[in-house]
Amino acid sequence: MWPFRKQEAAAEQLMAEAIRVARATADDRKIVAQGGGGGVETRWRGASRVLRSMASWIPGLGSPRRDFNKSERRMLVARSRDAMRNHLIARAAIMRLRTNVVGTGLVCRAQVDFEAVGITEDEAEQLNAQLDRLWSMYADDPRECDAEATLNHYQLQALVLVSSLVAGDVFVASPDQERPGCIFSTRLQLIESDRVGNPNSGMDRVDMVEGVEFDAVGAPVAYHVCAGYPGEHLAGKALTWERLSVFGAETGRRRVLHVMADKERPGQKRGAPYLSPVLEPLQKLERYSSAELMAAVISAMFTVFIKKGSEFDRGNLPMSALADERPEGDDTSDGAISLGEGAIVDLGPGEEPMVANPSRPNAQFDPFFTAVVKEIGAALELPLDELLLHYSSSYSAARAAMLQAWRFYSLRRWWLACDFCQPSRELIIDEAVARGLINLPGYSEPAKRKAYCQAIWIGPARGAIDELKEAKAARERIDIGVSNETLETASMTGEPWQQVIRQRVREVEFRRANSMQPLPKSGLETPPEPNPQEE
């Protein structure tokens, strides 16, 4: 019987502990309700359910699939697109990213790891030139890279970035299509977020979430793409879904790219729009701004009403009829009265106007508008000066805002290069090797393939508020050994240092050949050996 007595004693202890906790919680609730002591029923005030400031804040806790379900995502995408079309601040944020992250396009420069592939540095330079030439042949021609034969690769970069930010994600398929006059057959086909979903708009499964099919560890296996847009039916075309494998069955090459705006949780399969956290303040700010603008317009078009006294001769014509030219807005022949610039509206006998002064423009509009935009910019990682392109503060503050913004731009640029630019380039190198356009010994080995595909992506330069100070700072960084000419050239001009220095050498040699400047001392001449007899 001893084991039973032991179990009874343990149960009694648990019961006593439960009663003690319940009494302590009740006492804490009484203290909080009475407003004394500041105590809470939890050790973390943020977890309290009885504090008045926290009582109504009870969010749900669920998986990425539950917290970001289909209906909420579709609503966020729809509102984000509408804000992109009609809200000035929202469009400014997206366009600012497009211009600074991509601009005229991220240019690729091959950087073959010559030690890994077993060649000399000079041979690697020649190989880099061949790879860059092949990539230029593909990326510069819309018929080569774009499945729609409309945009070149640099324009596709901008479209991919904007689509992923506005809709949360965008998919890029790589169909194989031969075209007359083209060298490559790999095309890049952009697929909008709306078209990827479960077949026949079915429910999610254990291994599929909103068109993304994945394996047991969560890696994507296939994407299910609708032939059109769900809910949009065209004559003579039924909606069908196609299963696109993410990786090649034999080679393991990635065939479909998934570019997401952000991935904030492990296991998240679809991306959220970039503007999702600020859609509510954006909508309110747009309504407030539109109302203030309309009030200012009405104030500028304030119309004068003429009131006639009892001594006015009713047989006379109204003043508006006596005028030779009627300004727009004061024609009362149809009984309608409307506002107009400098209009005078004549009133009938017994009518008395109620004068209302709108008091516009509102002097408090700009400070309040700026304060809200600051909060929106903080959530979007864009300083106010950068978001509004209004550098009204000091040089130091403006430069700090620009540098902080460029940290965010650099992150987005790196993200785009990893998810879209580099994978699409590797597909082209694969095809070039298969077609015999370039000889890369040992390319079938994964390690050497990585070494051959290494490259850097150089985007538009950051720019400077004071270029002379920036140039001196770059020279100082090089002199003390914390940077090099390649990094500084890419940062200041957006061009590779090798190309700049080669062009510079050609220019200097041309000037020397045409006697446009005296030959400077190179400083490389070997000094003469001292004569012992002279010493």
E strands along 230-361, which residues? 241-245, 256-260, 304-306, 344-346
According to the model, what pLDDT value does residue 243 have?
95
On the 0-12 / 13-18 / 19+ scale of CB atoms within 10 A, 20 is: exposed
* Burial class of residue 131 (count of CB atoms within 10 Å of its CB; 0-12, 13-18, 19+): buried
**Pair of tokens at residue 219:** 């890696």
Q: What is the pLDDT of residue 238?
A: 80
Q: Choose among 450, 500, 489: nearest CA to 110.
A: 450
What phi and psi, each to the nearest 5 degrees, are found at residue 487? -65, -45
Label each residue of 386-437 as H, E or C: HHHCCCCCCHHHHHHHHHHHHHHHHHHHHHHHHHHHHHHHHHHHHHHHHHCC
Query: Any bridge partners for residue 247, and if so which?
Result: 254
Q: CB count, 10 Å around CB of 473?
A: 14
Q: What is the pLDDT of residue 489?
A: 81
pLDDT per residue of the chain (535 residues) written in tens, 0 to 9: 455 555 666 667 767 666 665 665 555 555 444 444 456 788 898 888 888 888 888 888 888 888 888 999 999 999 999 999 999 999 999 999 999 999 999 999 899 999 999 999 899 989 999 999 999 999 999 999 999 999 999 999 999 999 999 999 999 999 999 999 999 999 999 999 999 999 988 899 999 999 999 999 999 999 999 988 887 777 667 888 999 999 988 888 899 999 999 899 999 999 999 999 999 999 999 999 998 888 888 777 766 666 666 655 555 555 544 444 444 544 555 556 666 666 666 666 666 666 656 677 788 888 999 999 999 999 999 999 999 988 877 888 888 898 899 999 999 999 999 999 999 999 999 999 999 999 999 999 999 999 999 999 988 888 777 788 878 888 888 889 888 887 788 777 777 777 788 888 888 888 888 877 654 554 444 455 555 454 4
pLDDT of residue 534: 46
Task: Give strand pairing partners of 280.
Answer: none
pLDDT confidence of residue 266: 93
Kind of pairing, strands 169-173 and 107-110?
A: unpaired
The set of residues, in sequence order, having a beta carbon less than 8 Å from that of 434 and lying 6+ positions away, is: none
Domain boundaries along the sequence of the chain: 303-357
Q: Give the C-alpha separation, 517 to 125, whole Å.
A: 32
Give the 3-state secondary structure of residue 189.
strand
Q: What is the pLDDT of residue 392?
A: 79
193-72-388 Cα angle (round to 5): 75
Q: Report the candidate in 404, 395, 523 with the shortest Cα–Cα distance to residue 468.
A: 395
Strands (E), 127-267: 169-173, 189-191, 208-209, 212-214, 220-226, 241-245, 256-260
First to last CA, the chain: 114
pLDDT at 39: 62
Tell me the residue length of the chain.
Answer: 535
Question: Which residues, in sequence order, are CB contacts of 209 under 8 Å at separation 6+?
Answer: 65, 269, 270
Identify any residues that bridge with 258 across adjacent strands, giving them in sequence order: 171
Could you check whether the bond before residue 361 is cis, i.e. omega within 30 degrees of 0?
A: yes
